[in-house]
Amino acid sequence: MAELAEHLVATAGERGIALTGEGGLLTALTKQVLQSALEAEMSVHLGYDRHDPIGRNRGNSRNGSTPKTVTTEVGKVTVQVPRDREGTFEPQIVAKHQRRLSGFDEQVISLYAKGMTTGDIAAHLAEIYDTDISRDTVSTVTGKVAEELKVWQSRPLDRVYPVIIIDAIILKIREGNVANRPVYVAMGLNLEGLRDVLGIWVGPSGGEGAKQWMTMLTDLRNRGIMDACIVCCDGLKGLPEAISAIWPLAVVQTCVVHLVRNSLHYSSRQHWQKITAQLRGIYTAATIDDAEYRFEEFAEAWQAKYPAMIALWRNSWAEFVPFLAFPPEIRKLVYTTNAIESLNARFRAATRRRGHFPDEAAALKVLYLTIRHREPNRPNPTGQIAGWKNILNILAMTYGDRLGIN
């Protein structure tokens, strides 16, 4: 089969035949496959093949065909849809009223998830596949995921998660006027060592608040999460109190990656290497006492030059130190947040070209499609943690009863 495909492509190139679009090789092959499938469906419906004598005097029979043009991944294809005299034939491969094959819709959704606007997609398809598709059609195709998003946002979740990471990004969304709106993302690590995006929520403009956090966390609890061992977040105002109210036994841990990154915002680039080296000594310290000693050295060295940076660490210290009580394997789960960082990078790539969104629903649709879409040549951000069996044993020794692990 592979050799046949290579031969066809090579022959098309030698003869100057296009692969896609009107008159293209793949277009012709797609047409032939669809036509053959329609004829086969009709044969199954009637119980006999075309021109088969067994069909004589059996009542229902073929009654000509109707031309129909459908949009496929290789361009527009016109097929002859067979009819029967009784009008009972319902084709499945190209259903009644269907004008696009599902694979085409999936490609549109994939392009949308990668950050292309409806206008970009329409222009791209016209250029590559010689297919005339309007921006409204693109919106209709991507709009089909709205119901899927609703189901995803309300799906049941596990009873307990060893680690939940909560982060936020800012998007421009129109609410009368265009305003900066926080979008909160929760990612959980389950007992199988798999990461899962638990939900996304659009918050009000003007920053976070206890009411917003309670709404978000209550949603997670109502969907089944009765406990979380460690909840990692970026010092978001009001969130630690909300976590304690929803999951009283949870340890609230400041995200170390964010804490280090925020420290660099207060310092000159020429000092970054030295600062990050000293901070690494703090968050990899063997004990809390050792971390406190290293921090005081760090504060003494930089207090005069960067007082805001030192104040950031002092204000965050209570939520920073909990993970120091854990062995290195558990610490890594907390301060190595590559999965959610990768997801946020994809969110930014998908939203950068859009400027702003007309409403919350449009923003959530793009973010959900980004979560659903998987880059084939990139690591899966929801893949299993390396060395999970060893980590699970350590978790079981620490949280065995709460995790339900015997």
Token digits of residue 365 = 């649709």
Q: Per-residue pLDDT averaged across 60-73, rounded?
A: 77
Nearest CA to 80 out of 68, 62, 94 is that of 68
Comparison of pLDDT for 146 and 229, the residue scoring more: 229
Mean pLDDT (the chain, rounded): 78
Backbone phi, psi, residue 183, to 5°: -120, 120
CA distance 310 to 88: 77
For 206, phi then psi, to 5°, come to 100, 5
- Residues 58 and 288: their CA atoms lie apart, in Å, by 87
pLDDT at 247: 95
User: What pLDDT, on a 0 to 100 scale, did the predictor assign at position 5?
Assistant: 43
Residue 340 has a pLDDT of: 77
Which carries the bigger pLDDT value, residue 60 or residue 199? 199
pLDDT for 371? 86
How far, rounded to the nearest angstrom, does the alpha carbon of residue 307 sit from its chain's CA centroid? 39
- Can you list the alpha helix ranges (DSSP code H) found in 90-144? 102-113, 118-129, 135-143
Pairing of strands 195-202, 160-175: unpaired
Spatial CA neighbour of 72 closest among 119, 19, 149: 19
Q: Where are the alpha helices (DSSP H) in 226-352?
A: 239-246, 256-265, 272-283, 288-302, 307-320, 328-335, 338-351
The C-alpha angle with vertex 102 and arms to 96 and 104, in degrees rounded to 5, equals: 120
Give the per-residue pLDDT at 22: 58
Question: Contact, 370 vs 303, CB < 8 A?
Answer: no
Residue 249 has pLDDT above 60, yes or no: yes
Residue 194 DSSP code:
B
pLDDT of residue 4 exceeding 60: no
Q: Among 15-24, 105-114, 196-205, which stretch is predicted with the lowest mean pLDDT?
A: 15-24
| pLDDT tens per residue across span 388-403 | 888 888 888 888 788 8
Q: Which of 370, 262, 243, 378 is nearest to 310 (CA)?
A: 262
pLDDT in tens, 178-196: 888 888 899 999 999 888 9
CA-CA distance, 261 to 265, in Å (whole number)? Answer: 7
CA 361 to chain centre: 16
What are the tens digits of pLDDT across the range 28-64? Answer: 656 665 676 667 777 777 777 777 777 676 778 888 8
Task: Express each pLDDT in 289-312 by its tens digit.
Answer: 999 999 999 999 999 999 999 999
- In terms of average pLDDT, the best of 180-184, 202-206, 254-258, 339-343 is 180-184
pLDDT digits (tens, 9 = 90+) for 133-171: 666 666 666 666 778 888 999 999 999 999 998 888 888
Residue 121 has pLDDT above 50, yes or no: yes
251: nearest Cα among 319, 192, 191:
319
Neighbouring residues of 84: CB distance < 8 A, sequence distance ≥ 6: 42, 45, 46, 60, 61, 62, 63
Quote the tokens at residue 191: 């007992």
State both tokens at 84. Answer: 């029967």
